[in-house]
Each structure stands twice: as C-alpha cells, then as structure tokens.
Amino acid sequence: MTLASLSLLLFAVLSSAGGQIMLKHGMGTAAAAVDRDGGSLAVRAATTPWVVLGLAVFAVSALAWMTTLAKVPLSLAYPFNALGYLLIVLAGSTLLHERTSVWTWAGSLLVVIGLVTVFAGQRD
C-alpha cells in the first residue's frame, strides 16, 4: 500500500468517525429541542447545524472511501474501519460524556489487535 493510499484510507475513516460524532451531537440537540418545544424531530434535525455538518462530513468520507476502494484491496481497507470504531468509542466517552464500560474498552482493544494482525499479515 502506498503512502497516498494509506493517507486516503485514514482520511476516509477519520472523517467518517468525525461525521458520526457530529450527527450524534446534533441529534441529541434536535431531540432536546423537540422535547422542550415540540414539533417534528425530522424537521428539527434537518435544521440543526451539527446534523447538517455531520452529513456533509459523512458524504465527504463516503467519496474518500469509494476512491480508496478503487486503489486498495477490500480485505485490507475494510479492517481499517476498526480505527473508526475505536475513535467513536473514545469520542463518545470524552466529548459526549457517554458512559463506557470496561467491557467496551476490552472489546475495542481486541478490535485494534485484530487490525494490527491484518495489517501485519499484509506485509508478508
């Protein structure tokens, strides 16, 4: 895998995770506004800046992912989504103040070990 392909792959994964965190924050904001003021959650979500930004970032990540798939074997690219999972757990815990159990962290560690194993196997 070239440095350019790896960079594109990491960008796709990081932007996807970032978009998901923005969507989660925005939907929490939209749901709170509906609970407080009433109205439609769909309309409120569509007009919440974090939701709109999250969708835009997620769309950019999808384009980066498609470009990545044109250059990198799926068997190597897809395991990198594990990094996105780890980033989302970390961001959910730190930025969104979600409770995270020791089992979640243990599972996340196993996912990362799996990613390292897959990547190391590609170097043979």
Helix axes 3-37, 49-71, angle to 10 degrees: 160
With tokens 């974090």, the residue in question is 50
What is the pLDDT tens value at each position of the chain, 124 positions in all? Answer: 789 999 999 999 999 999 999 999 999 999 999 999 999 999 999 999 999 999 999 999 999 999 999 999 888 888 888 888 889 999 999 999 999 999 999 998 898 888 888 878 776 5
Return the structure tokens found at 61.
Answer: 């990540």
Number of domains within the chain: 1
With tokens 């939209």, the residue in question is 30
CA distances from 111 to 47, 58, 87 (A): 36, 22, 12
Phi–psi pair at 103, nearest 5 degrees? -65, -35
Structure pTM? 0.84
DSSP assigned state of 39: S
Residue span of the structural domain in which 87 resides = 3-122
Judge whether 95 and 22 are in contact, CB under 8 Å: no
d(CA 56, CA 78): 22
